[in-house]
Homo-oligomer: A and B are copies of this chain.
């Protein structure tokens, strides 16, 4: 990122017509945007959320409140024509509301999805292997999905977005996210394994045990190996989205626990990715706080979201755009002829 632009932005923030620090966390956010966009008056042009969907072999172990058949049905929901517009899921409604574009990727759903002009099909396999008993993905599959995510990110950038939000759909995917997070942050599975879409106490205990068993299977701690062993296709695709955004000098809004686990892999591969990650909310999933701390992100809102799909990131987009607007469009005390404190 552009350190000189950040310095100019910091000076400018201090001169804007408001009490020093009165914009709170938006000030630091605006300075980070200045660094990413290389200007003390950052002007982001478009927001896109890329929702990657995948299924998980571990779902057959009963780690979710929902049956795996829901994954392909939700993908069809993302794509459906509704009275409100394209897509009838939360991410579609919220994205329309804030003016963000939605890209949908089949990263490895357990169904033969019909061709659809808005569906980007990159599935290599109908869901991962069961991470409890074997590597979820091969190294080759992992890399292919990372590249697929990067390619879709490039398309979104070409279409005009410069703020990208990785999102996901995949019944059972808080289990791989917990396993990846536990291994990369060296935390006990019980500390990062949560209720996901809403499992009860008995299922949660079982889910922790599944993660523990998976981690006991292999001492792998190379980031890509961790992703292949414990991750999932949509995690790999989201990692590709983030690496491409950072490589292209664009901003990323990071929302959610599953997204966070992919970000942990990314930052382990390339610490500079951190500079491009902007916070959204704190999700209700246990383990998210540990991810945010490791990534150096302070959540902006606490709405108790636990939906995934990138919804929290899309909700955060107007706050990010507003932070940039303060730096770009507010007058300084000198410009406005107002005496400072």
Interfacial residues, chain A to chain B (CB-CB below 8 A): 16-26, 65-67, 69-70, 73-74, 76-77, 80, 82-85, 88-90, 92-94, 96-98, 197-198, 284, 300-307, 311, 314-315, 318-319, 321-322, 324-326, 328-331, 335-339, 341
Cross-chain contact B90 with A17 (CB below 8 angstroms) = yes
Output the least CB separation between A287 and chain B (Å). 16
Output the least CB separation between A158 and chain B (Å). 24
Cross-chain contact B341 with A65 (CB below 8 angstroms) = yes
- 27 A-B pairs with CB atoms under 8 Å apart are A19-B198, A22-B198, A22-B306, A22-B307, A23-B90, A24-B284, A24-B304, A25-B303, A26-B303, A70-B339, A73-B339, A74-B338, A85-B329, A88-B331, A89-B330, A89-B331, A89-B336, A90-B326, A93-B326, A94-B326, A97-B322, A97-B325, A300-B301, A300-B302, A302-B302, A314-B322, A318-B318
The interface residues of chain B lying within 8 Å CB-to-CB of A306 are: 19, 21-22, 24
Asked, given contacts A96-B325, A97-B321, A304-B24, whether A339 binds B90 with beta carbons under 8 Å apart, the answer is: no
Output the least CB separation between A62 and chain B (Å). 13
The interface residues of chain B lying within 8 Å CB-to-CB of A338 are: 70, 73-74, 77
* Bound Cα distance A19, B20 (Å): 42
* Bound Cα distance A303, B19 (Å): 15
Asked, given contacts A88-B336, A330-B89, whether A23 binds B70 with beta carbons under 8 Å apart, the answer is: no
Output the least CB separation between A34 and chain B (Å). 15
The interface residues of chain B lying within 8 Å CB-to-CB of A314 are: 322
The interface residues of chain B lying within 8 Å CB-to-CB of A304 are: 21, 24-25
* Bound Cα distance A22, B341 (Å): 45
Output the least CB separation between A30 and chain B (Å). 10
The interface residues of chain B lying within 8 Å CB-to-CB of A88 are: 17, 329-331, 335-336
Asked, given contacts A89-B17, A325-B96, whether A336 binds B76 with beta carbons under 8 Å apart, the answer is: yes
The interface residues of chain B lying within 8 Å CB-to-CB of A66 are: 19, 341
* Bound Cα distance A25, B282 (Å): 12
Cross-chain contact B318 with A16 (CB below 8 angstroms) = no
The interface residues of chain B lying within 8 Å CB-to-CB of A92 are: 329-330
